[in-house]
């Protein structure tokens, strides 16, 4: 006996996709200016931030595409739909960020030995413009990045925001004190911040792909709650996972007493999962007490002993 319940979140996804498109447009416009400014000013911190923004353009484009792809309805070949597209995009974005940071670290170490001349005025102006653009982008995604795909986009934007602040700080240090090392040091600090966030994003993406239990849920607590329901004697084959890192799904087998009415147990169990754990997509199989693990009634021999 099965029951499925679905919790709609289409409005939130549509709003999230719209904000992602705005952020992508802002980032694309500013990337061109930052690359030109970085080359003209000869600032590694600015070029590092520009390089990060180039990856952001690709990452945000991938996030927008993945969000659209994930919104496609299920079909005959993919009955769960395409929600995993967002997780794959988040994983690719996390790996891409880590690769870019590795390049920044290498270039920063090289510049420690031979710091170049830097045009701090242009560097500061470009950094200030980047700070304005990234602040607007961060506000657009603030509290609206619920899935891993949108969270990956937000990490890119926050990385750029830190980068812009670092560029301004480095330009001030070079202009006021002549600290040429401030440029590569700022690049390394930016890289460390971004790579730490990238590692967390990669691990979270892999957790979803490995059908891991969502972090806000405790499978054992859910098992105990179901087992405590009147008429339930055992809970087994309990699985809790998420397709796109947003909506949890659950399947379980409930073994019930012969005197219990299966549809009543099903109704109470579904309500419990929805109200207490906010799990709306549920599949429950109700089994009689003599149901064995293979799904067949346990055979009885001539002496009356079950096997």
Cross-strand pairs, 194: none
Query: Which of 52-61, 83-92, 291-300 reaches the highest mean pLDDT?
Result: 83-92
pLDDT at residue number 121: 78
Any idea which residue has 């979140």 for tokens?
9
Q: Is the pLDDT of residue 10 over 80?
A: no
pLDDT at residue number 108: 79
Radius of gyration in angstroms for the set of CA atoms belonging to the chain, rounded to a whole number: 27
Structural tokens at position 123: 């560097």
pLDDT at residue number 303: 47
Least confident range of 5-14, 97-106, 261-270: 5-14
Q: How far apart are CA 115 and CA 123, in angstroms?
A: 15
Any idea which residue has 């003599």 for tokens?
290
DSSP state of 115: P
Are 175 and 120 in contact, with CB atoms under 8 Å apart? yes
Q: How far apart are CA 210 and CA 242, in angstroms?
A: 10
Are 151 and 145 in contact, with CB atoms under 8 Å apart? yes
Q: What is the pTM of this model?
A: 0.67
pLDDT at residue number 256: 94
Best CA proximity match to 148, nearest among 64, 61, 62, 89: 89
Are 70 and 85 in contact, with CB atoms under 8 Å apart? yes
């Amino acid at each position: 006996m099965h029951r499925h319940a679905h919790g709609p979140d289409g409005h939130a996804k549509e709003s999230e996709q719209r904000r992602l498109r705005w952020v992508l447009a802002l980032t694309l416009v500013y990337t061109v200016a930052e690359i030109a400014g970085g080359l003209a000013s000869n600032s590694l911190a600015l070029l590092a931030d520009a390089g990060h923004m180039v990856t952001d353009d690709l990452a945000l484009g991938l996030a927008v595409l993945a969000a659209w792809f994930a919104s496609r309805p299920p079909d005959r070949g993919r009955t769960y739909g395409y929600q995993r597209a967002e997780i794959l995009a988040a994983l690719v974005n996390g790996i891409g960020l880590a690769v870019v940071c590795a390049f920044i670290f290498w270039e920063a170490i090289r510049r420690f030995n031979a710091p170049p001349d830097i045009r701090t005025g242009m560097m500061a102006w470009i950094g200030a413009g980047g700070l304005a653009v990234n602040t607007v982008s961060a506000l657009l995604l603030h509290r609206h990045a619920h899935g891993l795909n949108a969270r990956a986009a937000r990490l890119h934007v926050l990385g750029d925001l830190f980068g812009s602040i670092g560029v301004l700080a480095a330009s001030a240090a070079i202009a006021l004190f002549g600290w040429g090392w401030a440029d590569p040091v700022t690049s390394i600090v930016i890289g460390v911040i971004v790579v730490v966030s990238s590692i967390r994003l990669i691990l979270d993406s892999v957790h979803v792909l490995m059908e891991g239990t969502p972090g806000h849920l405790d499978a054992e607590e859910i098992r105990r709650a179901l087992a405590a329901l009147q008429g339930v004697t055992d809970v087994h084959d309990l699985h809790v996972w998420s397709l796109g890192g947003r909506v949890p799904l659950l399947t379980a087998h409930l073994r019930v007493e012969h005197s219990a009415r299966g549809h009543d147990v099903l109704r109470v169990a579904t309500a419990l999962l929805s109200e207490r754990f906010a799990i709306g997509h549920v599949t429950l199989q109700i089994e009689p007490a003599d149901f064995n693990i293979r799904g067949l009634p346990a055979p009885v021999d001539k002496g009356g002993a079950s096997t």
